[in-house]
Amino acid sequence: MKSKKSILTSKFLIQSSLLLFLLMTSFSSKAQENVTDKAGELTFKSETIDYGKIAVNSEGGRTFAFKNTGNAPIVISKVKTSCGCTVADYPKEPVMPGATGEIAVKYDTKRIGNFTKTLTVFSNASKPQLNLRISGEILPAEQ
């Protein structure tokens, strides 16, 4: 049989552990909120571009316009495209809160047919990975 002192010590340890756990989760969530409050946020005018139906070998350049609507500078570390037929250019300097920028995309329009491609933007924004999409149809040259 356990002594009264042993039972009290066990209760104390359980209560202390529970209190410590609650304090740690409270501080952890507060820290998470503070990080989010001080993060940049990429807000795009549109996350998709539809080229529509265009002729083969026509201009394949388009731009995704965005604004940093967050509270901290954003640095875009890279933009990865889903295939070699798409090239992206993005700002290399930090985008300050309230500032705007563009990600330029160029699709190789010598490929006839429908296309849908994804660009993945990697940054230090509140959402560190963001997908943009382009789509359209390349029509063959008229004979």
List the strands of the sheet with 48-55, edge to edge.
48-55, 129-139, 113-123, 76-81
Give the C-alpha separation, 76 to 70, whole Å: 14
Whole-model pTM over 0.85: no
Give the C-alpha separation, 115 to 92, whole Å: 28
Give the C-alpha separation, 93 to 120, whole Å: 18
**Mean pLDDT per 10-residue run, the chain (143 residues)?**
63 60 56 62 97 96 98 97 95 97 97 96 97 97 72
Predicted local confidence at residue 59, as pLDDT? 94
Predicted local confidence at residue 137, as pLDDT? 97
